[in-house]
């Protein structure tokens, strides 16, 4: 059954997604960055090309010709990855196909609307019996 983790942060959600995807890729895992908003997908693509400076994160869009052999995909097709290791949700609702993944990451911002949508998703997964974990990155970010 999918493990669902909620990350609460203060800052840029794309940076959190980049950090999680980079670590997962280094461990040999495949990652789908679910980004239904075209501007978010483009910004995430640029971010992955420019950081981290010491390591390249192989990635492309889920509809790219190289998607089948690329470990990190950006897009909306949860079936584009060969292995369903990690799905990082950058959308406002539950992503389609999340149940086929070993792990689902929900990134929750600090504005009222984002927190409310996060609570709704938490209750949705909880009602379905998923293992839920929470990580508060706000204190870590202050110490970095």
Task: For 13-61, write each residue's pLDDT tens digit.
Answer: 899 999 999 999 999 999 999 999 999 999 999 999 887 667 778 999 9
Write the pLDDT tens digit of every residue in 71-128. 999 999 989 988 899 999 999 999 999 999 999 999 998 889 989 999 999 999 999 9
Q: Which residues pair with 73 in a beta bridge?
A: 32, 60
Parallel, antiparallel or unpaired: strands 103-108 and 3-8? parallel
Q: What is the pTM of this model?
A: 0.91
**Topology given in CATH for the domain delimited by 3-137:** Rossmann fold (3.40.50)
């Amino acid at each position: 059954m999918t493990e669902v983790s909620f990350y609460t942060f203060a800052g840029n959600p794309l940076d959190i997604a980049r950090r999680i995807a980079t670590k997962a890729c280094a461990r040999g895992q495949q990652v789908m960055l679910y980004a239904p908003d075209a501007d978010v997908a483009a910004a995430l693509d640029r971010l992955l090309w420019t950081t981290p400076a010491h390591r390249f994160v192989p990635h492309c869009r889920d509809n790219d010709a190289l998607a089948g052999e690329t470990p990190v995909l950006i897009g909306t097709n949860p079936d584009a990855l060969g292995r369903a290791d990690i799905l990082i949700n950058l959308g406002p609702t539950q992503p389609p196909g999340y149940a086929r993944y070993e792990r689902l990451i929900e990134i929750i911002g600090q504005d009222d609307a984002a927190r409310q949508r996060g609570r709704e998703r938490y209750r949705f997964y909880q009602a379905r019996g998923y293992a839920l974990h929470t990580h508060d990155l706000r204190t870590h970010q202050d110490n970095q």
